Chains A and B, each alone.
Chain A
Amino acid sequence: AQSVTQLDSHVSVSEGTPVLLRCNYSSSYSPSLFWYVQHPNKGLQLLLKYTSAATLVKGINGFEAEFKKSETSFHLTKPSAHMSDAAEYFCVVSSLSGGYNKLIFGAGTRLAVHP
């Protein structure tokens, strides 16, 4: 079975400082992994995805994530936080069930950005 664990429920950073949101996964085979962002009262937006190509994945808005199989991790980073980055972030693994995928979400990390 596949699962993801987001190691921090809340992360607080100052504007202009780096962001690190941590995610560990569990999967019995090579996983597809994603990061989604959810702004207040909005739906989920895909930030980036890993599907067994390059291990360093670049996404939108300056975010990137590195797939590390040896550490079963898929941490999300951004060099410099912006106020507009304040949101909830979800690490997600795709589960192939019956040949078709469904998404399994982590519990989420709420990112606060202070001036």
Chain B
Amino acid sequence: KAGVTQTPRYLIKTRGQQVTLSCSPISGHRSVSWYQQTPGQGLQFLFEYFSETQRNKGNFPGRFSGRQFSNSRSEMNVSTLELGDSALYLCASSLPRENSYNEQFFGPGTRLTVL
């Protein structure tokens, strides 16, 4: 079974631009979560999507948004990029079980550099 795939793997943008990152979950997984990893803040939860709906959100500004398609693929968008948005963005997929732990499988990440 193929793992979680993320595209692109590397991205360079300039301040003020916007960017869209893509994540394809493991086949059959309907929940997709996004995390930001930086040297200063570590790994932080951005949001989670299930059945095309955002059902969980971390403490990030509105410039960070996402969506999920009917085939469970997800995209996240960052508008008006800032230097501090430079990070590794990780996507994880899981089977959705309510009120219990769902093991999350991570993709390799997209390394975003903002100049």
Residues of chain A having any CB pair with chain B under 8 Å: 32, 36, 41-46, 49, 51, 90, 94, 96-108
B81 to chain A, nearest CB (A): 22
Per the bound structure, the CA–CA distance linking A24 and B92 in Å amounts to 24
B48 at the interface (CB under 8 A from A): yes
8 Å CB interface, B11-55 against A = 31, 33, 35, 42-45, 48, 50, 55
Q: Enumerate 15 A-B pairs (CB-CB under 8 Å) in ascending A order.
A: A43-B4, A43-B108, A44-B90, A45-B106, A46-B103, A46-B104, A94-B101, A100-B48, A100-B99, A102-B33, A102-B45, A103-B35, A105-B35, A105-B44, A106-B42
In the complex, A96 Cα to B90 Cα: how many Å? Answer: 20
Residues of A within 8 A of B33 (CB): 102-103
Does B109 reach chain A (CB closer than 8 Å)? yes
Contact in complex: A97, B90 (CB < 8 Å): no
Q: Is the C-beta of B79 less than 8 angstroms from some C-beta in chain A?
A: no
* Complex alpha-carbon distance, A42 and B88, angstroms: 10
* B6 CB, nearest partner CB in chain A, Å: 8
Given contacts A49-B103, A101-B102, A102-B56, contact A43 B42 (CB under 8 A): no
Task: Determine if A105 and B101 form an interchain contact, defined as CB atoms under 8 angstroms apart.
Answer: no
